[in-house]
Amino acid sequence: MSETEIIHKLKQGNETAFKELVENYRNMVVNTCFGLIHNTEDAEDVAQDVFIEVFRSVENFRADSKLSTWLYRIAVNRSLNFIRDNKKRRWFQSFDDTIEAKKEELNRLSSSDSENPETSLENSQRALILHEAVDSLPENQRVAFTLNKYEDLPYKEISEVMNLSVSSVESLIHRAKKNLQKKLHHCYKKKCI
């Protein structure tokens, strides 16, 4: 089924078309959500909501934009909303719970490579540092950087997802990298690892 065919059938409520859409785009959507949320389970939950929204609002989809652009946009919005809600929730959560969640995240990361436990522990520590550095970026820098690095999207497509000019995206990514560099240098001097 081609993209237009999928959309056409989806508008008629065809379930096979929906299944094909999910199979074709789930990795892309989960990966985008993960890039912003940094947690596999949460990223999958948000990705599910993305597809439900797609199914329910396919009527509003305009054929002049790419399906992937539309999916990226929904995935980004949903992930950012999830992060905002999560922050609010964390505000009421105790400090211990936050630490516990971090530990679990670390365990999951380090268990991914059981053959080489030392590198995997180092990698999970690095992952935490990277996630924290990325999370500290302003929202639009974070989105542009994530789409560029996790999804290898060219600036042109990012500009379509974010409704910005290509030069704005270029500048966002440039500033994102500068900010990350600052964070990582600070961490290196402090010997975070």
Contact with another protein (CB under 8 A) among 6, 10, 17, 34: 34
Question: How far apart, in Å, are the Cα atoms of 63 and each of 15, 75, 132, 161, 180?
Answer: 20, 19, 38, 15, 37
CA distance 180 to 175: 9
CA distance 98 to 93: 7
CA distance 16 to 6: 9
Judged by CB under 8 A, does residue 123 bind another protein?
A: yes
Least separation in angstroms between CB 43 and another protein: 8
Q: Which stretch binds another protein (CB under 8 A): 2-10, 28-36, 92-100, 153-161?
A: 28-36
CA distance 140 to 172: 7
Contact with another protein (CB under 8 A) among 53, 121, 140, 149: 149
Least separation in angstroms between CB 187 and another protein: 8
- Token readout for 95 is 């400090």
Contact with another protein (CB under 8 A) among 1, 7, 44, 166: 44
Radius of gyration of the chain (CA): 19
Residue nearer to another protein on the CB measure, 28 or 91: 28
Contact residues: another protein, CB under 8 A: 19, 22-23, 26-27, 30-31, 34-35, 40, 43-44, 47-48, 51-52, 55, 122-123, 126-127, 129-130, 149-150, 177-178, 180-181, 184-185, 188, 193
